[in-house]
Amino acid sequence: MKKINWCKKIKNGIKFQTPNDNLSQEYYNNSEESLKVLRSINKTNSNMWLATTKYYIEYFAVYSILMKLGIKCENHECTIEIIKFLESEGIIEKGIHKRLNKDRELRIDNQYYLKNISVNINFDKLSDFIISIKNTLNNLNQELIEKLRKKIENL
């Protein structure tokens, strides 16, 4: 968890703010909306846009958890580190941080390096992912939020 400590020190890294249910819901809604957009992009076979949209579906969903916890983080690597921590705490299912890393790298390869790598889209799995995040959000009560924030602050 050394990386989280580093993330708390960098400019756009982990910052604590007041937990915000409204922003949490907005990010979750953006995830759902992006899934709808992905359905139309899927017909174009544009690997750049498929990779980008798929990643942001996942990113917006997990970022909704951070907003519920009152954690602002503009660095994607640091956001993924927080997700890794939440996995270790049993808050979200294991493997999500690996999925995010993999899809982030695919997005970077296709969007910035124009590698045109094929993107596997499974709408059922993406929908299940979003639903699992909603379940996580529903299970985050005030006591758990405070406990998690303290643990992250003390890392």
pLDDT score, position 1: 75
Per domain, the residue ranges of the chain are 2-153
Is 122 in a helix, a strand, or coil?
A: coil
CATH classification of 2-153 is 1.20.120, yes or no?
Answer: yes
Could you read off the pLDDT of 76-98 as tens digits, one per residue? 999 999 999 999 999 999 999 99
CB 6 within 8 A of CB 13: yes
pTM: 0.96
- Residues 10-51 have pLDDT tens digits of 999 999 999 999 999 999 999 999 999 999 999 999 999 999
DSSP 45: T
Helix/strand/coil percentages in the chain, nearest 5? 70, 5, 25
Helix (H) or strand (E) holding 10: none
